[in-house]
Structure 1
C-alpha cells in the first residue's frame, strides 16, 4: 500500500487567506498550500497592505475588517482565478483605488456575472479593456449591502466572493442565485465562514449573510481533494492501493466524491474518519456520470476512460470549457492523439469503445498551460509508454512537486 501526503487544498487556502485578511485579529493558517496560485494570492494581500508572515508550515495574517491598509495599489493576479475574483471583492470593502490585472490566460476567463453584481451593490468597478475581463479598477468606498441577484452558472467562485464579502458590508447581503455550478465549493465557503464566526442562513437559492465581520482564529488546511484524485485514479488504473491521510468523512471538499465514481467503475474504496483508500481490482467498468458538482475531476476520469471495459460518458460539464483552457476539447484532442475514439458535445464527452486501450500510442500531450491536463495525463502514462508534455512545469499552479511525488508513486505501484 502506498501512503501519499497531498499538499493543502488550493480552494481552502484561498478562502482562508480572504477570511484571515478580513478578520479582526491575527489568524494562523496551518499547512497552507504553497503554489503559484496561493503565493500569488498572498502577494496580492501584501500589495493591498495586509501583513502576511510565511513559514514552511504556517502563515500568519493580520486582519483588517476595515479593508486594505493602503489607498492605492496595483495587484497582479497571475493565473489564479480565486485571486482574480476574490481580491477585487475584498478591496471593494475598503477605501481607495485598486487596479487588478492578470496573466493572458486569466484575462480570457469570464468575470462579468460577479462584476455586474458588485456594480448592482454600488461598487465603482471599471473594466479597462474587454467588458467582463481583467484588467479592472475598483474605486472603493465600502459596500452598503442589501439584495442582489447572481448567475453562478459559469463558476461558483462568483457566489463565494459575494458570500465572503457579506459580513464586511454595512447592512449584510441577501444573494438570490439564479443558477449554480460546483455547488460543493459553496458548502466549503459556508463551513469556513462558520469557523470564522459567521453563520449564513440559506433558503433554497437565497443566501442571507449578516453584517458584523469575522473573528480571527487558527485554521488547519486539509489536503487538496482534486489533487488526491490523480493518485486515487492511479490505484484504480494499475490495480494498486493508495491511501491519502487527512481526507475522510469530515472533509469539506466535494471533489472527494470522485472516489465514488471510481467505486462505480469497479475500484474498492474505503473512506474512514481521517483517511481515504482506493484499491484497484484489475478492472474498470464503463459508465455514464454527471460531474457538474465535481467538474475539476473531469479530466482525471477522461484520462483513464480509454482503459475501461465499455464507453465512458461524462455529462453536465459545460463550465469546464471556461477554466484555464477548454478542458473538454483539450481532453478530447489529447486522447485522439493517443489513439482513443472520442466524441464531444456542448457539455459532454464520450470516450469509446473500451477494451483495447493498451494499444494506445505515446505522444506529446498539449497542456494548454493547464495544470489539470498535465496531472491527469500523467495517470494515463502509467499504462501508455512514451507520453510527454509540452509544458510539464505548469503544475506549479497547484502542486510544484507533483512530478516527483507521482514518480515515486509509479515506482511503488
Structure 2
C-alpha cells in the first residue's frame, strides 16, 4: 500500500535558512506544514524576510546581508531548529535580536552554540539560565575563524554553524568532538552544496569558505522519521507500506530504521524512488546502536514488546535532552503496560510481553505519541493523554493513521 507521508521537517527547516540567506528568490516545493516549520517561517518574517506560502510551495526572498529588521523579538515556539539555527543567521547580519521559546524549548540546551558564536566574536547574552533561552544576539556580522565545538548533545549546533559559514567574511573551520546524529549533518552538507556553497570535511574537522548561497528551486523529500511509524506498523501487523520519494538517494539518515526492521525479520525493498516494508508475522529480538538514528528510538522501543526476544537500544543518551527525556518516557510507559524494562545512562532494554492498554503519558512529545499509537495496533484500548502534541511535526497524524489502518483492515 502506498503511504504518502508529508515533507521532511529537517529538510524544510534547513531549506528555509538557506533560502533566507541566498541571493535571489527560492521556491520550496512540498514543504512540511507543522507547528515547528510554521514557527520557523513566522520567525523569519519577524526578522524581516519575505516568505509567501501556498499549500504546495513556499517562496522566500533571500537577503545575504542578513535580517531586514535591525531589532526583533523572535518567538521560536517548541522548535529546536528555529531556536538553534536562527541565532546564527541573525548573527551574520547586523542588529539586536532576542530569541525566546516555549517552556519546553527553554529547558533544552543551546549552550554549545552560544559558546561557539561567542568564540567567533558574537555578542550573545542569556537572560536566565546560562546555555538556555531567552538569549539576545547583538550582531555585527561574523568575521569567521577556527573554533572547537562539542556536538555531543545535538548535531543541530554544528548544523547552525555550518549553515552560517558561507555568510562570514573569512569562512569557518570547525573541529567537532562527541558528534551525534551524523546523518543529519550529511543532510546539511548536501543542501548547502545544492544552494551553491562549498564545504569540506576531513574527519572531525569541517571547513566552510566564504561565498554565500544562490537561490534555487528545491523539492522537499518526505520525512523519514515520520515514515518510520508506518514502516513499523507494517512490520508489526504483517502488512505492506511503500513510501514514495524515499529511495536509495534519500538525504535522511533515519531511513536506516528499515535496516533495523530487516534485522528483526521484516522484508525491505529499496529502489531509486521508494522504500517498501512488509511484515512477515514475526519480530526477532535485536541489539542495535541508534546513535545516528536516535529520533526513531521511541518507534522501536514502543513495538519492542512484540519481538520474540529482548530489544536493546544503545548509545542514545542524546534522547534524554529532546522534547522530553525520551528514554525514560518510553521506559515508564512500557512499565505501566506491564513490560519489563531496564535502562542505563544511554541505553534501554525491552523484554517480550503483552502490553496492557493504558493511557500513554506523552510528555508533550510528538514522537512518544506517534510511536505508542503504532504499538496500539496490537494493544486495543490504548489512549494518549495529549494526542494533539503531534502538531509539532504532523498535525494530521491521527486522521492519516486511521486511514491507513482502515485500508489495511486492522
Verify same fold: TM over 0.5: yes
| CA deviation vs aligned residue, 1:106-152 (integer Å, no higher than 9, x gap) | 00001111100000000000000000000000000000001010000
How far the C-alpha of 1:280 sits from its partner, in A, is 0.1
How far the C-alpha of 1:174 sits from its partner, in A, is 0.4
- Runs of 5+ in structure 1 lacking a partner? none
Residue of structure 1 equivalent to 2:29: 30
Match of 1:361 among 356, 362, 366: 356
* Aligned-CA RMSD value: 0.5
Residue of structure 1 equivalent to 2:146: 147
Write the distance in 1 (CA, Å) between the matches of 2:181 and 2:119: 24
Give me the TM-score of the superposition, normalised by structure 2: 0.99
**3-state DSSP of counterpart to 1:89:** helix
Residue of structure 2 equivalent to 1:393: 388
Q: Write the mapping of 1:76-225 to structure 2, written as runs, cut at 5 A.
A: 76-225=75-224
Write the distance in 2 (CA, Å) between the matches of 1:191 and 1:160: 12
**3-state DSSP of counterpart to 1:3:** coil
Residue of structure 2 equivalent to 1:410: 405
How far the C-alpha of 1:246 sits from its partner, in A, is 0.5
Q: Write the mapping of 1:193-272 to structure 2, written as runs, cut at 5 A.
A: 193-272=192-271
How far the C-alpha of 1:15 sits from its partner, in A, is 0.2
Write the distance in 2 (CA, Å) between the matches of 1:172 and 1:162: 10
Give me the TM-score of the superposition, normalised by structure 1: 0.98
Write the distance in 1 (CA, Å) between the matches of 2:103 and 2:127: 14
Write the distance in 1 (CA, Å) between the matches of 2:58 and 2:389: 24
| CA deviation vs aligned residue, 1:157-187 (integer Å, no higher than 9, x gap) | 0000000000000000000001200000000
| CA deviation vs aligned residue, 1:22-75 (integer Å, no higher than 9, x gap) | 000000000000000000000000000000000000000000000000100000
How far the C-alpha of 1:338 sits from its partner, in A, is 1.0
* Moved segments of 4+, more than 2 Å: none
| CA deviation vs aligned residue, 1:189-233 (integer Å, no higher than 9, x gap) | 000001000121111111110101000000000000000000000
- Runs of 5+ in structure 2 lacking a partner? none
**3-state DSSP of counterpart to 1:236:** helix
Match of 1:381 among 376, 379, 383: 376
- State how many pairs are aligned: 408
Write the distance in 1 (CA, Å) between the matches of 2:91 and 2:155: 19
Task: Note if 1:15 corresponds to 2:14.
Answer: yes
Write the distance in 2 (CA, Å) between the matches of 1:336 and 1:108: 26
